[in-house]
Structure formats: C-alpha cells, structure tokens
Structure 1
Amino acid sequence: MLVPIKWLKDYVDIDMDIKEFADGMTMSGSMVEGVEDIGQNIEKVVVGKILEISTHPDADKLLVTKVDVGGEIVQIITGATNIRENDYVPVALHGSSLPNGTKIKRGKLRGLESNGMLCSPDELGLDAESLPSGVDMVDGIYILDRAYPLGKDIKEVLGLDDKIIEFEITNNRPDCLSILGIAREAAATFGLKMKYPSEEVSGKDGEASDYISASVKDADLCLRFAIRVIKDVKIKNSPSWMQERLLKAGVRPINNIVDITNYVMLETGQPMHAYDLDMLENKEIVVRRAEKDEKVTTLDENERNLDDSILVIADGKKAIGIAGIMGGYNSEIKEDTRTIAFECANFDAVNIRLSSKKLGLRTEASSRFEKGLDMEIVSLAMNRACHLVEMLDVGEVVGGTIDIYPAKKEKRMVTLRSDRVKWLLGVDIPIARVKRMLESLEFEVAGEEVLEIKVPTFRDDVTMEADLIEEIARLYGYNNIPSKLMDTTFTQGGRDAKQQIRNIVRDNMEAQGLYEAYTYSFVSPAVFNQINLKAENPLRKAIKILNPLGEEQSIMRTTMIPNILEVISRNYNRKIVEGMFYELSKVYLSEDLPLKDLAYERDTLTIGIYGNVDFYDLKGIIENMLSILNISKYRVLPSNHESFHPGRTAELLINNKRIGYLGEIHPDVLDNYDIPSRVYIAELDFEEIFRQIDLTIKYKPLPKYPSIERDIAVVVAEEVTAGQIEEIIRNKGGRLVDEVKLFDIYRGSQIEEGYKSMAYSIVYRSDEKTLTEEDITKVHNKILNSLTNQVGAVLRS
C-alpha cells in the first residue's frame, strides 16, 4: 500500500520527521516497508516562463531562449523542439542538481552563454509513462499545465516535495488498505485528531430508480449492492492534484470519472465501478452467477470464459463485468458518455478469491474484496464519489440511491476486564488510558472496571477479549512493556516413557547393524495386490486422502511391508546385494469407512533383511531386542500369512498375544518388486510390545544350594519345534527347573524318516534346600510323561 504523505495530511495533522513517523507506525503494528523521498536530490529547479525563442546563429538544431525565472531573465540554449513562447517550464539554474546526480552550471554552447537548462520529465526523475493525462512531452521539455508563480520551487509545483511510504498490510487488516485506514492508525498511534473527507451531496431532481433498475439474484455472494446515477457527464482529464495523487499511489489516471472511482477506492478502501448507462440493455443491472460457458470481454480487452461459480454484473441480456474483479469492455466509460451509473458493492471474500484465481486475473479491486471488506463503507464511498463529481463539476448527481442491503451488519460486543489487561501484558495501565486508546481506534467504550466494547464494523479481526488487549498493547508500545521473567514455577522437560523406549529400540537396531529407513505414509492402493493380500483382508480397508498428489500416494498405509520392500528393491537395483533395514513408524487403521472418527495411528516396527542371511538372523535380531527390553515370556510359532512363504513363516507371541509376523517373503511378492534374492521381513505391533515392557531391574541372591544336571534325548516328529519342548519342560518342571538348553539335533539312519532326535540339558535347583535324587526323579519323570502325551515324544535309548 503506497501512501503519499501530503494526501495523508488531509486527514491527520502529521508534523514530525518522516523517520519518526515510520518508526512509530511500525511499532504500533503498521509495518513500513520503505520510504521514498521523490524530490530529495532536486535543488534550485524553478518555474520559468519562455519570453523569446530564436535560432542559434551557429547551430541550426539549437534554440536560444530568454526565460523569466522570477526577478531575472536568463538566457538558456536548448535542443528541444516542443517549446513555444509563453510556455511555463521547469528551469535548472546555475548551481542546481538533478535526481541522477547531475550538477548544472553556466557555460557556453557554440559561443553563446547558457545559464542553466530547461528540464524534461526524465531529467526530473519522472517516468514518462506515468505522467498525468494530457501531458505529451515524452521527447521534449516538461510543459507545465498552467501559469505558476515564476521562480517557485518546481518540487512544490509538481508535488515532488512529497514522500511516499509503502506499508505492508496483513490479510486480517483490509481496513488499512486505504488512506483513511492508515490515517486512523496514525491518529491513534500519535494521539492526533482524525478528520474525515466531506461526503456531502446535494443531489438533483429525480430518483436513481427513474433511470435504472437493479436486482441481486445471489444474495449469498453479494451482501450489499448500491447504485447512483450521474447525468450530463462531461468526460475530460482530472485536475492535476488528483492525477498527481493517483500516480504517487501507483494508479495511472485515465479520465475524470474513472479517476474518481480509483481515488475513492484508494481513499476509503472500497472499490467502485462506473457503467455507461446508455450501453446497458433495458437500463437494468442484475447481480447473478455466470451461465455455463458464458463469455465476457473485460476492460483489458481479453475474453474471459466463465462458469456458474463466478459472480457477474449483467444488464438485461449479457454480462457487463466480473463482480469484484474487473468491469466489462462493453460498458466502459468513453469520451461520448453522458449518463453513468456508479456501482458500489460488497461481495463474498471467498468467492472473489477463488474466481480471481480461476481466471488468473487479480486487480486492485479483487485484492481488497478477497480479504473481506466492511459492508458499511459502501455508503461512505458512494457519497464521497458523488461529492467529488459535484466538486469537480463533472456532471449532475441524480437524487436517491438504489441500495440493496438485506442483512445490515451489526457491531460486535466484546467484554474487557481491566484486571485481565494487567494479567496478560504485565503492566498496570490506567483504565482511563485504556479507554482513550480504544476510542482512538473508534471502538465505543462503556463501563469502568469491566468495559463493554462495541467493535466498529471495519474491524472483523477483533472477536474476543484477547484481541482488544492486543490493540492496547500495540498502542501502549511493546517497547514500553518491561522484560521480566515469568512469575511461575518451572518444570523440566524430557522424553516420555514411550519416546525413551523408541530410542532404546533404535539404538539396539543400529547396534545390530540395521539402517533406519524413513518412508511415506501415503501409498498406492496397488500395494495390496503386490503383497498378495486377499480381497477380504481387513488391511485393505485403507483411509483415502481427499486431496492426493496422485494415485501413487492416495491412501494411508495399513501395513509397512510394501514400504520396506520398496527400500530393499531400490537398494538391490543399485547393486547393493545385501542389507538390513528397519523402520519404526505408524500405520493408519479405521474400523469404519468412510472415516467418521480419527484414525487409529498404531506404532509399528518393521525389519527387512536380504543377502547373506536367513530366517534365524531375523529371529535373532528380534530376540536380542526383546532381551534389551526385558521381555522373556515370548514364543515364536509356525504360522501363515499371504505375503510370506508357506512353511517359512512364524508369528511372535508375547504373553500369548500375537505381536506380529516374521519370515521369508513369498516368491510371487518378490517378483512384483523385482527382487531376485530371498528377503526376510518382520512386522511387529510396537504398541503391544510397549505394553509388555518392564524395565524394572530385580535382583536375587546368589544360589545357596547346589544344582543337579540331567540330559534327555527324545525322538519327535519333524513338525514339533524346540520351543514347544522347552515350554513343556519349564511348565512341568516348575520352579525346580533353573535352565534348559538344547545341545543337539540328530537326523540319520538310526532315526525313522520324518522324525528327529533332540537332546536337552536340564539344570535343576531349589532356593529352599538341597535336592535329593528322589526329588529330581519325580520331576524328571513328570516332564518325560508330559512330552510323550503332548507331542508324542519317545525317550531315545
């Protein structure tokens, strides 16, 4: 937002150094991006009047001029051809300086003295394309538009004695996208009086409704719509003061009517538009959604394709503008326009933003509407525009206004507790000062200790007590709030138990030589087929992403097996022939789809190894981790899983609860991932592992009584596992069995095919006494009987 200081001074008396002003505004929340002093380097350039022009006797292309610069007549030689006698021009006198650093001194040209220079726009630092309308001197001297006092500083004449401040306006403060908004902030910041511009309008005979009718068909997108009519319009250039202000604010002047709408938009923040009334079919304006495939040519002469999500302004037959964005070429103001309709409206911010993005068209108007404007400033802007029409004698304002405003905006009430101000800011600000600060921002304040505040309609960002306290803080000055330590107690931060366990597991995995992998939680629906999951498998009930980057990342993963297989495939295809990886992350599960409640995010540990490894390497990694976590009551039993090799798959149970699967991946799955090597994977429920952990260290005294060791060798069927036999031994031996160790497995000619011999060493010990042979024999026989009955074991002789 560009704000010329001279324009700002119309509404607030700023009498201070520009740096002090900029710093004060920044500290109160209006961020100053930069300050431009447009005439800073221009010195001793004055208004002069050309009295005589003659040809240089020794140079056909040079002219000798006599110029009155106020109090003296100087001779200046120039090569410009656009000057005439009695023209008023900028004159750089002897000893003057120009914006580009040039110093002008008297000298001689072809033998004749020249006491200065007649200046062009470029030499004064002016962009020729941004010169006021009607000024045609791109290649010559700047001809002033009228007579000015001779010798007057050119900076005053051309407004170059001004400074322009650029403010960065945040999206929640659309009220500051105007000169009046910045003036209001300046008045509150420096304790000054705010002056509003005149909006007095006399209005002539008749009513606007006699000339035009208006209707709003989509009131949800157009909250207020107002029309006023101007007749007997005289299209011409705007006065130089208006053009000068528009140019400094970054808007190029066009003609008096268009300039008035732009001037009011910059002044009040409310965009306006003017339509040539004689070009409207049926003298009617309708606010409606665009029809399917409707087209409109906008003021930039580009044809726009519309759809029914875009709001348009239309006459009786066609669209004449895109609401809140840009008017139509078919109703623009031309030199022969005699009757106009001023439109001033308030549109839905979200619709304007989406429509602007869809059309790839962003304008000064849309940039304001998309932030949400105050509906109440429509009246101010309309009356101000009509006042300028009368002041500039542009035309005759017809009496009355068509104002479609079905739901009037009411001021919001917010309660402010004085003790809360001190509690949040840490300073005790007198309640009288609090009131003054809020009233300076045009809040209506009532009450004493508990204030009832009416928030002005242009401050939609103030919705609660904390917002009011923020307003007080910025006006009081953040730099005036002393720094101090919090009056509170402190607690030491740290990782919770689960985070500590995760780190223990990571350290253990890496100590065993595994690399940690990080993969995306978004996967493709195709992964379920790739890992051979059956159609009825509950893992296929995946949560779909509403705005996926693509089909490859369109659902939330329910298993991490595809992720670890992709990691292995990528490494193998890059000539890394062996590797061990793990990932400790989350899978996302839901009982009902589509999702109604939050998904269940389950921590899962996945391990993948390949190369010179086998199933027992994977099992050993898991057992080592369980040992570190002090989990001893676990079993690894044969099992089945669609993704794993039949007969080479196991499940891990802890306290008889299934924790997950481990084993060799099915060859068909490996083919789907282009992996020619055997791969072993484990996927474990880390949530359940965490629940089984007990890291409490328990000590017991050294044994008092001696142990006795017995060996047994039993013949069992091939499908009987060592874990089953060990479990029977420990269950039947009870507290007397101190240690069980498998030390031999034999298959050979002495054992029937389909069977194997397994030899165990059993250590017996009691904490209460020295065991006798009778004690041990009793328990030993009990174990042998249980082995025979439960797994068909035969004692090998």
Structure 2
Amino acid sequence: MDVPMSWLKEYADVNVGIKDFVEDITLSGSKVEGYTVMAGEIKNVVTGYIKEIVKHPDAEKLVICTIDAGQGADLTIVTGAPNVNVGDYVPVALDGSVIAGGKEIHTGPLRGVESQGMLCSVEELGFDLHDFPEAPEYGIYIFPETVELGKDVVEVMDLMDTVVEYEITSNRPDCFSILGIARETAATYKGEFRFPEISVKAEGTGDVNDMISVDIQNAELCPRYVARAVQNVKIEPSPRWMRKRLRAAGVRPINNIVDITNYVMLEMGQPMHAFDINTIAERKIIVRNATAGEQITTLDGVVRDLNESMLVIADPEKAVAIAGVMGGENSMISEDAEAILFESANFDGPNVRITAKNVGLRTDASAKFEKGIDPNMALDAVNRAVQLVEMLGAGDVVPGVVDAYPNKKETWELSYSPEWINKFLGTEIPEEDMQASFERLGLIVDPVNHTVVVPTYRPDLEAQADLAEEVARFYGYDKIVPTLAAGTPTVGKKTYAQTITGMVKDVMIAEGLCEAMTYSFESPKVFDKILLPADSKLRETVTIHNPLGEDFSVMRTVSFNGILNSLSTNYNRRNEQAGLYEVAKVYLPKALPVTELPEEVSTLTMGMYGKMDFYDLKGIVEHLMTSLSMSDKVEYLPEKSLTWMHPGRTASILVDGKSIGYLGEVHPIVAKNYEIGAKTYLAVINVEALVANANRDVIYKPLPKFPAMTRDIAMLVKEDVTVKEIADIIKANGGEHMEAATLFDVYQGSQIEVGYKSVAYSISFRGTDRTLSDADIADGMSAIVSELASKLNAQVRDK
C-alpha cells in the first residue's frame, strides 16, 4: 500500500526525517518496503517567462524563444511546441537539468541555433493530463497564473511529497487505509490521532429514503448496506490537491465523482461505488445471489458469467453490480447524470475473493473486501464521500441516509494481566505504559478490572497474547532484553515407529536405492493402466472436491503408480538402470460416500529396472528383514492374484502366516503401459507391519571356538518345486548341530531332463563344545536325504 506522507500528516504528527520514520514505523510492526519522492528525478527545472518569439531561420516548424528564467540573463531556447505565446509562464529545463526518465538536458545547437535548455510538457515532468487536466494534449505546459520566476517547478507545481510503500499483513485490514496507518503512526510516536471531522450540510431536497429502498436478501454475505444520494451533479475534474493525493497513492484520477469514491477507499479503507440513480428500476436496490446463467457487462465492457454463489447488487429487473468487485455498465454515471447514489456496503471477504477469481476480475475494492472490512466504517465512509461532494461543489446532498444493518457487529471485551504479559514477554513494563498503548490504539481500558473493549476494526485481537503483542511492539522489540526460556526442559526423541521407519530408509539407501517423493493425488485412469479389475475394492477412492485437474482428482489407493512413472521418466531419458524407494501413505476409504477420514496405511514401495533381477530385489527385502530381526518370521510364497504383477515371478511376503506385502516382476503389459522397455521389479510392504514385528533386542553370542564342517548336497527335482520347500526340509532334519543351509546353484540346461532342475545347497555344522566328526553329522545328512526323496521325489547326491 502506498501512503503519501503529506496525507498521513493530516491525521498524525511526524516530526522526524523520512529515514527515521521508516525505521520507527517498521519496528512498531508496520513493515515498510521502501519510499520514493513524488517528483522523481526532476532536477533544475524552473519557472520561466516568454519575452519574445521569432521564427527559426532554417526550420519552418521551430521557433526561437527568449526566456526570463530568473537566472540574471535571458535564455535562448528553441522549441517546436505550437501552443506557446509571448507572456506565457512555462517550465524551463536549464542546462544540466534532469527530467522524467532520467534524461539530462544540456545547451547545444538545434538546426544552427544554440538552445540553452528546453521548455517542458507535463509528460516530460513525469505526469499526464489526469494529473493536470488544464494542460494541452500536445505542447508545453502553461502555468494558469503568474508565478515567481526561477522558482523550482517541483515546489510551484506541488510535487514535493514522499510516498511510503507498506507491506500490510492480511490480518490487519484496518491498516489498508491512510487512517489505519495514521493510527499506527500516532501510537508509535505517542501522539494524537486525528479522525477527520465529518459534517454534511445536506442542502438538497426531499429525503433519500423516499428516493431509494434497499432489500438485503442474503445478510450473511452482505451484513450492511448504506447509501446516500446527491442531486444536481456536476461532473468535472477534481481539484489539484485531490488528484495529487490519488496519483501519489497509485490511483489514476478520472473525474470528481469517481475520484471521491477512490479517495474515501484509500483514506478510510471502505470501497465505494456510485450509481446513476435514474438507471435503478423502481428505485429499489436488491442485494441477492445471482441466478444460474445470469450475465452482467461490467464497467470495463466485458460480459461476465455469474452463478448462484455470487452476490450481486440488482434492481427488480437486472443486476447492476457484482458485489464487492465492480459495477455494471448499465448503471454507470454519464456526464449528463442528474442524481447519483453513493453505495457504502460491507460484503463477506471469502465470497468476494471466490467471486473475483471466478469472473477473472480482481479490483482494488475486491482486494480490500477479501481481508475483511469493519461494517461499522460504512456509515462514516458514505458521510465522508458526500462531505467531499459539498467541498468540491459537485452537487447537492439529499438529506437522510439509507442504512440496512440487520445484524450489527458489536465490540468485544478481553481481559489482561500485566503480570502475565510481563512474564510472557520477559519484560518489566509498567502497567500504566501498557494501558497507554491500548488507549492510543483505540481500545477502551478498564484499569480496575483489567479489561479492554476492542473496536470492531481490530478483528486480530482475540486473546491476551494478542494484547501482549501490542504492548511489545509499541514498547519496542529492540528494548526487550533477550532471556533464556523458563520452564522444565524435555528431551525430544523419535517414536518407536519413526525409529523403525528410519532404519528401513537406511537399508534402502545402503542397497543403493534413491528416495522418491510422489503425489498422493492421482488420476482414476491409473486403475486401467495397472489392469485392475472393475470390481476391485482399490477402485473405491476418496475424491477431491476441488482438484487441480482430472490427473489429481483422487487420493491414491495403490502406492506404486508414482514410482513407475518415475522409472518411466528415467528409462525414456536413457538411464541404463534405476532403483527408487518411497515410504508414503495410501488412503483407503472406510465407506462411500466418505463420512469419516479414510484409513491411511504407511507403505514401503521399491521399484527398479536394469542390471538386476528378481533375486536382487528379494535380497534387498531379506536384508531389510534381517536388519529388523524379522528374518526368522518371514516366508515367501508364490503370488498370482495381482493383475499388475507377473503371475509366475511374484512372491507374497508373509510374517507369521499373514501377508505384509509382495515382491516380483511387473506384468509386461503394465510395463508397456508405462513405456518402460525393460524388465521392471516392484516390492510393496506394509510399514506398520514392519513396525509391529521388528525386534530391536540384540542378543550377543561369543565367537565360535571350534571349526565348522560343511557338506554340499545337490538334487534333481521337478521345476515346480520351490527352494523354500527344499530349505524347510533341510532345516527341519539337519539335527542339533546344523548351523546354516545356503543355496548356491540352480541349473536347467541341456544335461538336465526337461521339466526338472538341479538345485545345490551348502550345509554347515558346528559344535559348541568340541570339533565335530563325520559320525556327528551322519544322522542329520541321512535324514535330509531321506526326507527330500520321500516328500519331493528328489534324486539326491551329497558329498
């Protein structure tokens, strides 16, 4: 927000330089982005008097002017301006001067005649016809009155002002106005805040209540609607002082009526609108929701489509404005308007914001309404507007006010404790200073009961902590001595689940996988992509009400879509191999339609392609289970029910007989759907199951004192026999001395009968009290061979 210092000083005293002011007001909580001088770069441009004009001897369109610019000697200046005459007072840029845009002016020849400067237009001074409507459209600016010669035009044209740019937080709607900043300034410097004296003569005829009626049909979206009327309207340019203030605050002057509404919006923070009262059918204002398919052409000439959620100002026949956003072209004020209606209303901020976004039109008014404006300001604002009408002679104010205010917003009371505030801030501020700060902000203080009544323009003051903040910022944050926090320290640590999850991630990183982070929002098309049956429960999803688009419209029920998309990106960018993992949640609705939060299941997903196969992935899973001390509980069984996985190369992961996930090769059709042209592998594991079954208790054993004995055993079995079946028999029959059984070879080839495979294990035995002999392990090996032959029909040879 841009605030001219000259305007601000009308309501609060500032007796320090601009640099000190900027620092002080920032420290008190009103952050300043920067400041600029209104005159900009203009330098060494003075007033001058044209004494003589002669034609240029070598240029038909140029003339030579003799100028008295108060420099002790007349100047010769060549110009092509058609509007200058002897006796005119004009702005003169002297040798070495600077005009708008940083352009420097120097003495030099112009078609053979030395020109000692330049005569200036308003554009060359950085302004336009809206700032100086008396200036010619083309040509030099002529001062309308006699001026002192040689005087700086910055002073003569009243360009001496500094504009401060503030960054106002959205919780302080009161500071989006000159008065709001002035109140903060007065509180900062412990000075007086002067609210403008508003008085209206109302010399028009009749009563506004006989001219117009107001019907609020949605008081929730329009808490208050205030209006006043003006007769005998005179549309003309605003006076220079008003145009200057508007321009300095970043608003382009238009005419006196429009400028008055903008002036009040900037000064008081209350957006206003003016209607031609003769365009209002039946002289009745209706504040209602728009109807489906309704349209309005706004003041910018664009047709806007409306819907039932939007609020409009209407008459019995049509909408005449989009509430809080912009007026309609059908009620705009023309130059021959005889009577106008000033609207000062209050609208629901969130609704205005949504409406402005939906119609694609964000205005200064909507930006202010979005923050939440005090409805109790509306009456003062409309009275200020018609007061300015009288000051500018823009018409006769009709007596009376239309004020529809069905549910008045009241002040509220907060209690405070000086002791608590000092303890909270770590200060020793006297209670009297606290109360003085509250009073300077407009709060009504009861020192006996330690309460304050909060005015309605401060919606941010809701609790004692908010009052403490007000005390701190006006006492001075720089004066508060840093102290150590008081209280009982607590030791922060990870939960058990967080610790296990961290261990899972450590294993993944140790195995060379990179962590991925993918979206929880997905497209329903994913289910077709992974060949999911139409009746699958996984197709039942939580649907997003306001999605970014169809591709982000549901919460995921499977965890691997993002991983496969990432692998696809890597593959198509010619990365030879990639391995990714992610620990994230899937969202399973408990019922549809959704009536309660879905079940959120934390899931570990691994995905990879390249120089790896099923056994590499299984090895990573086995490493994970070993790290969590779960390997003795885990078994792997063939899994053929998952449509997105290869039916002959997928295993279910079971812990104590219950499935906690799966691993294997992605179905070739699914890999093709994701445009991955290599064998792709996935593992999906329920993290909550890992947390529940992990064992962090470590049991230490002494290193073995005696050597191990090993025996290799090879067998010929049918190819549908799993290595798990073989391993289970070996472990069950190896005897008390068996230490481990390791698979080291699986072979199918020309020397093996079709339908069979050769499987080889290395079995180790070790004694805890002595070195074993062949006789000690003979029974175990014999039992292994016998059981393999009888249960698996294995042809065994051992050595």
Q: How high is the TM-score relative to the length of structure 1?
A: 0.84
Q: Which residue of 2 aligns with 1:201?
A: 200
Q: In structure 2, the residue corresponding to 1:340 is in which secondary structure?
A: strand
Aligned to 1:410: 410
Is the Cα contact below 8 Å between 2:501 and 2:687 reproduced in 1?
Answer: no
CA change 1:15–1:650 in 2 (3 A) is closer
Count of aligned pairs: 791
Paired amino acid for 2:540: K
| Deviation at residue 222 of structure 1 after TM alignment | 1.7
**2:688 partner letter:** E
**Structure 1's 91 and 498: CA in aligned 2 closer, same or farther, altered over 3 A?**
same
Quote how far apart the aligned CAs of 1:30 are: 1.8
More displaced stretch, 376-385 vs 675-684: 675-684
Check the 8 A contact 2:47/2:92 in 1, yes or no.
yes
Q: Secondary structure at the match of 1:128?
A: coil
1:235 is matched with 235
Checking the alignment, whether the CA contact within 8 Å between 2:586 and 2:601 is kept in structure 1 is yes
- Name the residue aligned to 1:438: 438
* In the alignment, structure 1 residue 262 sits paired with structure 2 residue 272: no
Conserved? CA contact 1:532–1:642, under 8 Å: no
User: For 1:469, what is the secondary structure of its paired residue?
Assistant: helix
Q: Deviations over 1:273-323 (max 9, x none)?
A: 222223333233222333444443333344444344333323343333332
Structure 1 residues 175 and 775: alpha-carbon distance in aligned structure 2, compared to 1, 3 A threshold:
same
- Aligned counterparts of 1:739 and 1:95: Cα–Cα separation in 2: 97
Post-superposition CA distance 1:411-441 (Å, at most 9, x none)? 1222222233223322221111111111111
Distance 1:57 1:729 in 2: 117
- CA 76–242 in structure 1, closer or farther in 2 if over 3 Å, else same: farther
Q: Which residue of 2 aligns with 1:660?
A: 661
| Deviation of 1:766 (Å) | 7.7
1:700 and 2:701 aligned: yes
Counterpart code for 1:438: F
Q: Deviations over 1:395-426 (max 9, x none)?
A: 32222111001011111222222233223322
Shift of 1:195: 1.1
Equivalent residue number for residue 9 of structure 1: 9
- Report the CA distance shift for 1:242/1:775 in structure 2 as closer, same or farther (over 3 A): closer
Aligned partners of 2:78 and 2:113 also within 8 Å:
no
| 1:651 corresponds to | 652
> Hey, what's the Cα distance between the residues in 2 that align with 1:667 and 1:472?
69
Q: Secondary structure at the match of 1:376?
A: helix
Matches within 5 A, 1:672-683: 672-673=673-674, 678-683=679-684
The answer on whether the counterparts of 2:442 and 2:455 sit within 8 Å (CA) in structure 1 is: yes
Cα deviation, residue 26, structure 1: 1.6
Conservation of the 8 A alpha-carbon contact between 1:33 and 1:166: yes
Matched, 1:604 2:603: yes
- Matches for 1:58-73 after TM superposition, within 5 Å: 62=63
Deviation at 1:726, TM superposition (A): 4.6
Aligned 1:486-505 pairs, distance under 5 A = 486-487=485-486, 498-499=497-498, 501-502=500-501, 504-505=503-504
Offset at 1:346?
1.0
Deviation of 1:208 after TM superposition, in Å, equals 0.8
Query: For residues 9 and 345 of structure 2, what CA distance do their matches in structure 1 show?
Result: 28
- In structure 2, do the counterparts of structure 1 residues 40 and 348 end up closer, same or farther at CA, with 3 Å as the change threshold? closer
Structure 1, unaligned runs of 5 or more: none
Q: Counterpart amino acid of 2:248?
A: K
In structure 1, what is the equivalent of residue 211 of structure 2? 211
Secondary structure at the aligned position of 2:225 is classed as: strand
Of 258-267 and 600-609, deviating more is: 600-609
The alpha carbon displacement at 1:482 in A equals 2.5
Q: Is the 8 A contact 2:706 2:766 kept in 1?
A: yes
Deviation track 1:702-757 (CA, whole Å, cap 9, x = no partner) reads 67899999999999887655534554565577866555567999999xx9998999
Check 1:388–1:148 CA distance in 2 against 1; reply closer, same or farther (3 A cut). Answer: farther
Farther off after superposition, 356-365 or 408-417: 356-365
> SS state of the match for residue 355, structure 1?
helix
How far did residue 631 of structure 1 move?
2.8
Q: Separation in 1 of the partners of 2:522 and 2:445?
A: 57
Q: Distance in 2 between matches of 1:256 and 1:597?
A: 57
Deviation (angstroms), 1:335: 3.3
SS of the counterpart of 1:454?
Answer: strand
CA–CA distance in 1 between the matches of 2:745 and 2:271? 92
Q: Give runs of aligned pairs for residues 340-739 of structure 1, distance below 5 A.
A: 340-447=340-447, 451-487=450-486, 498-499=497-498, 501-502=500-501, 504-509=503-508, 511-512=510-511, 514=513, 517-566=516-565, 581-608=580-607, 614-633=613-632, 634-643=634-643, 644-670=645-671, 672-673=673-674, 678-701=679-702, 721-724=722-725, 726-727=727-728, 730=731, 738-739=739-740
User: Does 2:334 match 1:334?
Assistant: yes
Counterparts of 2:216 and 2:313, CA distance in 1: 9
Root-mean-square deviation over aligned CA pairs: 4.7
Give 1:562 deviation, angstroms.
4.5
Match of 2:553, as an amino acid?
S
User: Could you give the per-residue CA deviations for residues 666-721 of structure 1, whole angstroms, max 9, x where no partner exists?
Assistant: 45545545666555443322332233322433223467899999999999887655
The answer (yes or no) to whether the contact 1:706–1:765 under 8 Å persists in 2 is yes
**CA distance in structure 2 between the partners assigned to 1:676 and 1:92 by the alignment:** 74
Distance in 2 (CA, whole Å) between partners of 1:514 and 1:110 is 80
The one-character-per-residue Cα deviations of 1:519-566 (angstroms, maximum 9, x if unpaired) are: 444443344344444444443333333344444443333334545555
C-alpha separation between the residues in 1 aligned to 2:667 and 2:10? 82
**2:94, 2:675 → 1: CA distance?**
85
Residue 323 of structure 1 corresponds to which residue in structure 2?
323
Stretches of structure 2 lacking an aligned partner (at least 5 in a row): none
Preserved CA contact (<8 Å) 2:622 2:631: no
Answer whether contact 2:715 2:796 (CA < 8 A) is retained: yes
1:296 corresponds in structure 2 to 296
Cα shift at 1:638:
3.5
Q: Is the 8 A contact 1:97 1:104 kept in 2?
A: no
- Structure 2 partner of 1:163: 162
TM-score (norm 2): 0.84
Distance 1:352 1:685, change over 3 A: closer
Q: Percent identity?
A: 45
> Match for 1:465: what amino acid?
Q
Report how far residue 382 of structure 1 moved.
1.4
Partners of 2:612 and 2:158 in 1: CA distance: 84
Q: 1:143-194: CA deviations, max 9, x gaps? A: 3344567787644442122222222222222222222111111111111111
- For the Cα contact (< 8 Å) 1:258–1:333, is it kept in 2? no
Question: For residues 281 and 35 of structure 2, what CA distance do their matches in structure 1 show?
Answer: 48
| Structure 1 residue identity aligned to 2:630 | I
Offset at 1:378? 0.9
185-194 vs 4-13, which deviates more?
A: 4-13
**Residues 40 and 399 from structure 1, CA distance in 2 versus in 1: closer, same or farther, beyond 3 angstroms?**
same
Q: What amino acid maps onto 2:604 in structure 1?
A: L
Distance change (3 Å), C-alpha of 1:728 and 1:209: same
Deviation at 1:626, TM superposition (A): 2.6
Residue 213 to residue 110, structure 1, CA distance change in 2 (3 Å): same
Does the Cα contact within 8 Å between 1:206 and 1:398 map onto a contact in 2?
Answer: yes
State the alpha-carbon separation in 2 of the partners of residues 582 and 537 from structure 1: 25
- Which 10-residue stretch deviates more, 234-243 or 206-215? 234-243
SS in 2 for 1:370: helix
Which is worse superposed, 98-107 or 204-213?
98-107
CA pair 203-780 structure 1, distance change in 2 beyond 3 A: same
Tell me whether 370-379 or 85-94 shows the greater mean CA deviation: 85-94
Separation (CA, whole Å) in 2 of partners of 1:37 and 1:282 = 50
- Which shows bigger deviation, 268-277 or 700-709? 700-709
Give 1:659 shift: 2.6
Q: Which of the pair has more CA radius of gyration? A: 1
SS in structure 1 opposite 2:450? strand
C-alpha distance 781-464 of structure 1, shift in aligned 2 (>3 A): same
The letter for the 2-side match of 1:682 is: A
SS in 1 for 2:375: coil
Moved more, 223-232 or 774-783: 774-783
Distance 1:480 1:745, change over 3 A: closer
**Residue type matched to 1:249 in 2?**
A
Are positions 1:192 and 2:203 aligned together? no
> Which amino acid in structure 2 is aligned with residue 297 of structure 1?
T
Shift of 1:603: 3.5
